[in-house]
Structure 1
Amino acid sequence: MSFLRSAGVAGTALAVLLTGGVTAAQAHATALAAPVAPTAAAPVEISTAFELPGDRVYPEGVTADPRTGDLYAASFTDGTVFRMTRGDRVAETFLPAGADGRHTANGLEADRAGRLWVTDSTSGVAVYDMRTRALLARFEVAGEEPRFVNDVAVGPDGSAYLTDSVRAVVYRVTPRQLARARGGRAPLTPYADLSDLPGPVASGTYTLNGIVVDPAGRYLLTADMTGGGLYRIDLAGRATGATRAVRKVALEGGDMVHADGLELRSGTLWVVHNTVNAISRWRVARDGSAARVEKRVTDEALQLPTTLAWHPDGLYVVRSQFDKGGPLGDGTPTLPFTVALVRGL
């Protein structure tokens, strides 16, 4: 989800090319779900839901536990993972800074098996038991080449998929790999290579960021935050050696420039656009081949959002404030760091 830490030199902030983008693809009206009859637009409400203790938190990831409804957020600057529960305004520390050698945290995903996946942009992903907080396994990118392991999503079969923003690769961790690595380390293996993305993407820029899995397990969607495209990666028949075909999604009414965290639910895709303080809502075709923008809100109250999590309460959105003394600019953050609740979107 984040994109601003140097993969080659720890602690070095990068100036990321976030301008430009691609023209919207031709509309594929027949592929989209039938439009809903027009209704009066509901107002979008943004409020503060939780406070995160600490003056250098700069939160990056957020996820909701599908079993309990508890929320988790992570600090980009030191790797702390916080837990937020309804009725408690201030989050508690779930995993302390530096736990198991983690000194940064990006994407988070709580799965239905009670595991918490925590990405570390400099190395890979750590998997925790949410009941005991024990480290179950760690998966790391091999070699010394630059990498930026960013976001993570877990499919219905328990496989996890992770984006690498520098290499434009999607990695996969299967349940079998997790079982074999239990208690130890294992390599993070590529599932799909998108390094030849079409569009005006300059060499060395950050590309893939947010990722989601179709609830039916047919495909992945991942956004190219610099080129502005959305990509569908085939998952069908993966157990029998399918081609893992990649195709560009036809976008109508907008693009994925500045796209960070994604959330997909019942054919609706929410996209956080970080440095422009925006969230867009899209209707996705049943086969994932096309998407049409339905609504977009831009508000400074989002404080440079990096990701979001769907919840029965609404959308919980991380306010990173990366541009206030963090990896994106000088200045002083507004304390405390917070997680917002967005309703009406």
Structure 2
Amino acid sequence: ILAPPTDKPVSGLSYDPRTDYLYAATGFGNLVTGSFTSQGVIVYDASSGDVITEITFGDGITINDCLVTRAGVYCTDSFNPDLYKVVLEGGGRLPSTPVVEVIPMPGFGMVPGFNANGLVGDFDGQRLVIVNISTGVLYSVDTESGEATPVQIEGAEQLFPDGDGLYLDDRTLYIVQNFQNKVAVVQLSEDLTGGSFIRNIPGAGAPNPLDIPTSIIGFGNSVYALNTNFLERVFGNPAEVQSDVVRLQK
């Protein structure tokens, strides 16, 4: 175990190799405790597991995922059309007093229930891609203005409902669709405002090892999805259910 457990479920992780800090989004405590208070990120020393600091954004929000960029750590809020930015100094250092900016996202379509989920982008942090888990719309977000515009997708599939974790490999985007039990592959444009649907993993007729996956990462010729086995946890025997990682060919 890297770090002792806390009473706050972690919904997203992002690592900064400049400082060896691991940022953990802790926005889903409300689903377990019924509390919407003290949402934000916990910052860990990735080598020792020690807590560096906990940064609280506020109450009444649900922080879902986070992404380290050159000048800040961006976080999505599933219940509000806002982007949160933890400001970083040179070399990825945290200020002695953490600074959190709230960036409204005009143009980000909201529906009842969960909305903004996974996010990806280049290290320069100028533009992000965020998925709305309920509508399946991918948004391209200008982090300076906050303006969100739907990514113009061509091909057989243009919406990605149940879109959860995202992984960006250069300009190839992998979208975990949790209750769909699949990973959609989209080739994005250089400016992250358009793209083309390529295929689903696994393909039609192929064996499917996915069981409500929520997160995804890539290495080499493979992507790795985290199975939650959610339905078994809820309706089966939760004490005997374990999450597992599934390797899929890119």
Instruction: Write out per-residue CA displacement over residues 88-114 of structure 1, whole angstroms, 9 at most, x where no aligned residue.
Output: xxxxx111222xxx4311101112221
Instruction: Write out per-residue CA displacement over residues 219-267 of structure 1, whole angstroms, 9 at most, x where no aligned residue.
Output: 11100111221111114xx4xxxx3432221122321211000011211
Residues 1:211 and 2:119 are matched in the alignment: yes
| Segments ≥4 residues shifted beyond 6 Å | none
> Displacement, 1:127?
0.8
> What's the Cα RMSD here?
2.1
Alpha-carbon distance change, 215 to 103 in structure 1, aligned in 2, over 3 angstroms:
closer
> Displacement, 1:187?
6.6
The answer (yes or no) to whether the contact 1:137–1:178 under 8 Å persists in 2 is no
Q: Structure 2 length as normaliser, TM-score?
A: 0.83
How many Å separate the matches in 1 of 2:13 and 2:2? 13
SS in structure 1 at match of 2:96: helix
Partner of 1:57: none
Residues 1:138 and 2:58 are matched in the alignment: no
Instruction: Write out per-residue CA displacement over residues 36-82 of structure 1, whole angstroms, 9 at most, x where no aligned residue.
Output: xxxxxxxxxxxxxxxxxxxxxxxxxxxxxxxxxxxxxxxxxxxxxxx
Residues 1:222 and 2:130 are matched in the alignment: yes
Paired residues for 1:240-279 under 5 Å: 243-253=145-155, 254=157, 255-279=159-183
> Displacement, 1:319?
0.6
**Count of aligned residue pairs for this structure pair:** 229
Partner of 2:223: 315
Partner of 1:232: 140
> Displacement, 1:337?
2.7
The answer (yes or no) to whether the contact 2:140–2:148 under 8 Å persists in 1 is yes
Residues 1:153 and 2:67 are matched in the alignment: yes
For the pair shown, which has the larger CA radius of gyration, 1 or 2? 1
How many Å separate the matches in 1 of 2:81 and 2:126? 21
Runs of at least 5 residues in structure 1 that lack an aligned partner in the other structure: 1-92
Alpha-carbon distance change, 158 to 111 in structure 1, aligned in 2, over 3 angstroms:
farther
Residues 1:197 and 2:108 are matched in the alignment: yes
How many Å separate the matches in 1 of 2:217 and 2:56? 25
Partner of 1:108: 13
The answer (yes or no) to whether the contact 2:121–2:128 under 8 Å persists in 1 is yes
Q: Which has the higher strand share?
A: 2
How many Å separate the matches in 1 of 2:105 and 2:193? 19
> Displacement, 1:158?
4.4
SS in structure 2 at match of 1:261: strand
Identity of aligned residues (%): 22
How many Å separate the matches in 1 of 2:135 and 2:242? 34
Match of 1:174 among 79, 87, 94: 87
> Displacement, 1:216?
4.6
Instruction: Write out per-residue CA displacement over residues 18-39 of structure 1, whole angstroms, 9 at most, x where no aligned residue.
Output: xxxxxxxxxxxxxxxxxxxxxx
> Displacement, 1:134?
2.2
SS in structure 2 at match of 1:189: strand
SS in structure 2 at match of 1:324: helix
Instruction: Write out per-residue CA displacement over residues 90-143 of structure 1, whole angstroms, 9 at most, x where no aligned residue.
Output: xxx111222xxx431110111222110111113111111112322222221223
How many Å separate the matches in 1 of 2:99 and 2:9? 19
